[in-house]
Amino acid sequence: EAGVTQFPSHSVIEKGQTVTLRCDPISGHDNLYWYRRVMGKEIKFLLHFVKESKQDESGMPNNRFLAERTGGTYSTLKVQPAELEDSGVYFCASSQGGTPLGTDTQYFGPGTRLTVL
Amino acid sequence: AQSVTQLDSQVPVFEEAPVELRCNYSSSVSVYLFWYVQYPNQGLQLLLKYLSGSTLVESINGFEAEFNKSQTSFHLRKPSVHISDTAEYFCAVSDHWAGNTPLVFGKGTRLSVIA
């Protein structure tokens, strides 16, 4: 079974440009999460999809970030326009859903390293 | 709000020596506790987790962690480390009662095993 995949693995863009990150969760997983790690800091939650619906987007830093999960399968995270402080590693995770009291394991992808110059 | 503190950002240790990576958390509700590991150039992998029951949990590669509710800790230990254990280790918590809530991570501890 394929794990969580993310594309691209690295992206280097200039301030003001647009970047779109993609995450393919494990097949059949209803829950999809985006996290970000800025250099030297902890991994922080951005948002959570249940199927195609946004369950929690309290971690999204501002309206330059737009996440979608059309059809409840893969997800994209677009940053437009990118700023210097957006640099970091963006992780995607998925979990199955349907188990009691949130005991699902979150499986993480390898991350996308975004550098904004 | 929940928070996780990993007191050591870097831990160098000689091969075959024991190691303890410390994790303390704060939360106003019951939590689930996790340790994830990130090997060089790879994604995060779940190492072990505490959900309920026995407070001592073990991984398949010899790590163990003990949930201590009174000290709000979940330290990770291994009696004898290998070079292959070199990685960054993350402690995380999630809300016990809310179901599929996001993980709250510590800043990570980079374990370097020296030959």
Contacts of B100 in chain A (CB under 8 A): 31, 48, 50, 55, 95, 97, 102, 104
pLDDT for residue A20 is more than 80:
yes
Query: Domain range holding A59?
Result: 5-98+105-116
Predicted local distance difference test score (pLDDT) of residue B99: 61
Predicted local distance difference test score (pLDDT) of residue A1: 63
pLDDT for residue A101 is more than 60:
no
How far apart, in whole angstroms, are the C-alpha atoms of residue A113 and residue B69? 36
Query: What 3-state DSSP class applies to A19?
Result: strand
Average pLDDT over residues A28-33: 92
Identify residue A2 by its one-letter amino acid code. Answer: A
Predicted local distance difference test score (pLDDT) of residue A78: 97
* A23 sits in which H/E element: strand A19-24
Q: Could you identify the residue written with the tokens 């928070």? A: B3
The reply to whether residue B32 touches residue A103, judged by beta carbons under 8 angstroms, is: yes
**Smallest Cα–Cα separation from B34: which of B44, A50, B43, B42?**
B44
Question: Does the beta carbon of B110 lie under 8 angstroms from any beta carbon of chain A?
Answer: no
- Neighbouring CB atoms inside 10 A of A20's CB total 14
- Neighbouring CB atoms inside 10 A of A12's CB total 13
pLDDT for residue B2 is more than 60:
yes
The reply to whether residue A108 touches residue B43, judged by beta carbons under 8 angstroms, is: yes
Contacts of B103 in chain A (CB under 8 A): 33, 35, 43, 45, 93, 106
For residue A63, give both structure tokens: 């309206």
The reply to whether residue A48 touches residue B103, judged by beta carbons under 8 angstroms, is: no
Predicted local distance difference test score (pLDDT) of residue B98: 58
Contacts of A45 in chain B (CB under 8 A): 102-104
What CATH number is associated with residue A27? 2.60.40.10
Predicted local distance difference test score (pLDDT) of residue B37: 96
pLDDT for residue A102 is more than 60:
no
How far apart, in whole angstroms, are the C-alpha atoms of residue A112 and residue A106? 17
Predicted local distance difference test score (pLDDT) of residue B60: 84
Contacts of B102 in chain A (CB under 8 A): 33, 35, 45, 48, 56, 59
How far apart, in whole angstroms, are the C-alpha atoms of residue A28 and residue A73? 8
Q: Are B77 and B63 in contact (CB under 8 A)?
A: yes
Domains in chain B, please, with CATH? 3-114 (2.60.40.10)
Predicted local distance difference test score (pLDDT) of residue A99: 64
pLDDT digits (tens, 9 = 90+) for A61-94: 999 999 999 888 999 999 999 999 999 999 999 9
**How many domains in chain A?**
1
**Per-residue pLDDT band at B112 (split at 50, 70, 90):** very high
pLDDT digits (tens, 9 = 90+) for B32-89: 899 999 998 888 999 999 888 888 999 988 999 999 989 999 999 999 999 999 999 9
Question: Does the beta carbon of B26 lie under 8 angstroms from any beta carbon of chain A?
Answer: no
Predicted local distance difference test score (pLDDT) of residue B113: 97
